[in-house]
Structure 1
Amino acid sequence: MLKFALILAAIVSLVYGLGFLLIPNTLVKLSGGSLVEASWLRWPGGVLIAWAIGTLMVFGKPEKQNIFVTSLALAHLLSGLGLLYSWIVREYDGATWFIAIPTCLLLILSALLYWSRSQAKKVL
């Protein structure tokens, strides 16, 4: 289950990271949100790609990587909660599906990573 959670987290991070790094304004236009300076989305795109690469490295050799998996789960939790907050207080003015999908993905991935981490205690 840990490897499944890791590969899913890597894919999600890579997809969003590449989008934010390479075509941030296109994503904003697709969402129906207000355009922003591209640099405000490009640098988090780079961070997401780095998370994806690190996650793939841990996927290949998960032994003694508990701290990384815990950090990854926490990053997904905080990101999901941040999006949920923006959604609830109506800070977001784009299409609902464009915030609902990543919010749900991040919160589900966080729970999956925490759960699979506890299931893989002997490996981690």
Structure 2
Amino acid sequence: MPNLNCGLDLIGEVLYGKWKIRLLWFIHQGFQRPSELQRKIPDASRRVLNVQLKELENHELVGKIIYPVVPPKVEYYLTDFGKSLIPVIAAIGEWGDQNDQRLRTLIEKNIQS
């Protein structure tokens, strides 16, 4: 059982996963089909994206529409609960942009170590 003593523990449990924040952001931007999300995040395997999308769905941050066509067409959308995270994700992105050069230097330094 994970440690869920505070809000940071809770959000870590829900958003833990390399691609989840990006998935939420790209779905918010209108990229809803799995193939579109795969193109936006080419470093992630389709399997990993599917697992993380399923976890986001289980945490009620995204919903899924399956259209009854052949081949099946799937689209993801943000729930109201998921939409409530967008300002937080935007703030984190802005912080990253404001500290771009410092973060790049630190990341590259740690990779070389």
TM-score by length of 2: 0.31
Which structure is higher in helix share?
1
Which structure is higher in strand share?
2
The structure with the larger Rg is 2
